[in-house]
Amino acid sequence: MKLNTLALPEQNMVMHSYNNDLDFIHRYFDYENKESSFTKRAEELSKRPFNRQGVAETVRQFMKPFGISENAERHIEELGENAVTVIGGQQAGILTGPLYSVHKAITVILLAKKQREALGIPVVPVFWVAGEDHDLNEINHVYTEMDGRVTKEQIQDKFILKLMASDATFNQDEMRRFVSSVFSKFGETAYTKTLLNEVLDTVKKENTFTGFFVSLMNGMFADEGLLFIDSAFKPLRELESDYFCMLINESETIARSIFEMEQQFDRDGYGKPLEVQEDASHLFYVHETGRALLTRRNGYFVNDSAGLRFSEEEMLEIAKKTPALLSNNVSTRPLMQDLVLPVLAFVGGPGEITYWAVLKEAFHTLGIKMPVIVPRLSLTLVSRKAQTALAEKSFEIEDVMNGEVAVARHEFIEGLRDGRFEEAVNEVEKKLTAEYEKMSQLFGEEETMMLELLQRNLQFHTSQFKYIKEKSEDAQLVKHEVAVRMYDSIETELLPNGGLQERVYTPYVHLNSYGPTLIQDLLRLPFEMDGTHKVVYL
């Protein structure tokens, strides 16, 4: 395993500013991403009250069914005493979702280790599972590569609209068939059978997206003591009761601050990442039909389509007595995380950092600051197969990322065209069209039936000429199939559909080809969290 760094063109304006513009950071964040910030943040956290024992016991209770390793237990005990946390989170995707879920967990673990040593205090890694999210279409699929094409594989199960991922159950037989089908697309290796059986055993034990996700992730990172907590876990909601009351009491001020910050963000040229309304409450009510987003109107919290209408007093009563009926949205989840946990740093991807940028004043409304924001590691994993293909075609990884491989593939296919054959077909088509024109002149404009018949007949021949030329191209492609497929395999593995690999494929693609030590070997690499893209040759 070898590590290289690659400076990709910064496509995201926000990330470019975050990595290079101090004025931008000071306007939208409380801390710069530098070493001295972690010391300042740790000092700030030491002065804030936290229900440490309650949090520790809640994490322990959540993790118990999945298994608590020795290191995880040590981290839970430290969390109950004086530890601070590095936290990252993600939706509960099938087979852990895209690779960036694993990359995020790796970043959280490595940053926690680094800051534990630098600060001389316990720093524990935490993964916050967004189990309250209800858009199941975002998590009910994976992507595979077959014959040089990226294919979306979606589980054919029926789910209740707006049901939270932690409550949405799947049919275990259907999931077993789905997982087996996905693995069949990976190709058989020495690791396939064991890996597949481990996943299928997990399917037998779990029947919710969140349970399936956490069980797999916990197995991958147990040795590192990565802690997990689900935002939809009812004991956590009970722990959050007082904080829900704070969010309800300050709802109008929080909503106004986010709205005004987003307007400023847009004026500065970064767009509107959340598209918030000033009358938003940024809270959901867990209704019998699923999560219902509440809006503030005339002193009430309402959702007309669900027939919901609560006064502020009623909302506070719900928060105190049945907090499991309340749920945060994308804006208040960061606030809740920071109220519940002593968050030293938050690890996020470009999209998350973009919407965090409009939350600064909302944090201040609650009398707290934003944690240090650290971009997650961005990685491309290069399999042995891809390395061989790159070497054979004399390409470097940079050639893939900057589009040169796509250009070379196009030029190669263009070079396969039989120009003489195509020219001959074009000449015949040209002559036939001229003859049809002569025949058309034999009829007057009033003889529309014959004119239309001739036109349709000519169109039929034209389509046949096109078909002949396409078949000639296909014949050349079949003749040079191995070479064309090599171009395709390079692009579909390393830049699938023109985007980064980490946003498309599940880590099980590489676990299947590399082996079960993949995660541990990645954690041993000397990553620098400097905003550059990392390339790992497996």
Whether residues 203 and 57 share a domain: the answer is: yes
Question: What's the average model confidence in pLDDT over 89-118?
Answer: 96
Whether residues 214 and 340 share a domain: the answer is: yes
Instruction: Give 403-472 as a DSSP string.
Output: THHHHHHHHHHHHH--HHHHHHHHHHHHHHHHHHHHHHTTS-TT-HHHHHHHHHHHHHHHHHHHHHHHHH
Q: Is residue 319 part of a domain?
A: yes
Q: What is the pLDDT of residue 434?
A: 83
Distances (CA, A) of 64 to 71, 78, 227: 14, 17, 11
pLDDT tens per residue, range 295-311: 999 999 999 999 999 99
Q: Is residue 28 part of a domain?
A: no
Question: What's the average model confidence in pLDDT over 354-374?
Answer: 97
272 in helix, strand or coil?
coil
Q: What is the pLDDT of residue 161?
A: 55
Which pLDDT band, with edges at 50, 70 and 90, does 425 fall under?
Answer: low
Q: What is the pLDDT of residue 174?
A: 94
Which pLDDT band, with edges at 50, 70 and 90, does 219 fall under?
Answer: very high
Question: What's the average model confidence in pLDDT over 74-80?
Answer: 98
Q: Is residue 462 part of a domain?
A: yes
Q: Is residue 200 part of a domain?
A: yes
Q: Is residue 19 part of a domain?
A: no
Whether residues 92 and 223 share a domain: the answer is: yes
Q: Are 66 and 182 in contact (CB under 8 A)?
A: no
Whether residues 459 and 349 share a domain: the answer is: no
| Residue 100 lies in domain | 33-237+329-357+367-380+501-529
Please say if the pLDDT value at position 409 is more than 80.
no
Q: What is the pLDDT of residue 477?
A: 54
Mean pLDDT over the full length of the chain:
91
Whether residues 524 and 469 share a domain: the answer is: no
Helices (H), 234-321: 234-239, 241-249, 251-267, 312-321
pLDDT tens per residue, range 256-287: 999 999 999 999 999 999 999 999 999 999 98
Question: What's the average model confidence in pLDDT over 208-223?
Answer: 95
Q: What is the dihedral of CA 171, 65, 283, 368, to 10 degrees?
A: -150
pLDDT tens per residue, range 229-258: 999 999 999 999 999 999 999 999 999 999
Whether residues 91 and 215 share a domain: the answer is: yes
Residue whose structure tokens are 């829900």: 244
CATH of the domain at 138: 3.40.50
pLDDT tens per residue, range 329-358: 999 999 999 999 999 999 999 999 999 999
How many domains does the chain divide into?
3
Q: Is residue 250 part of a domain?
A: yes
Run of H or E including 281: strand 280-287
Which of 89, 71, 86 lies closest to 119 in space, CA to CA? 86
Q: What burial class does residue 83 get, using C-beta atoms within 10 Å of its C-beta: 0-12 exposed, 13-18 middle, 19+ buried?
A: buried
Question: What's the average model confidence in pLDDT over 196-220?
Answer: 96
Whether residues 309 and 161 share a domain: the answer is: no
Q: Are 212 and 203 in contact (CB under 8 A)?
A: yes
pLDDT tens per residue, range 108-137: 999 999 999 999 999 999 999 988 876 777
Whether residues 270 and 135 share a domain: the answer is: no
Q: Is the pTM of this model over 0.85?
A: yes
Q: Is residue 215 part of a domain?
A: yes
Please say if the pLDDT value at position 480 is more than 60.
no
CA gap 337, 343 in Å, rounded: 8
Whether residues 372 and 397 share a domain: the answer is: no
Instruction: Name the phi and psi angles at 4, rounded to 5.
Output: -125, 160
Run of H or E including 309: strand 308-311
Whether residues 187 and 70 share a domain: the answer is: yes
Whether residues 107 and 148 share a domain: the answer is: yes
Whether residues 457 and 344 share a domain: the answer is: no
Q: What burial class does residue 9 get, using C-beta atoms within 10 Å of its C-beta: 0-12 exposed, 13-18 middle, 19+ buried?
A: exposed
Please say if the pLDDT value at position 428 is more than 80.
no
Q: Is residue 22 part of a domain?
A: no
Run of H or E including 27: helix 22-28
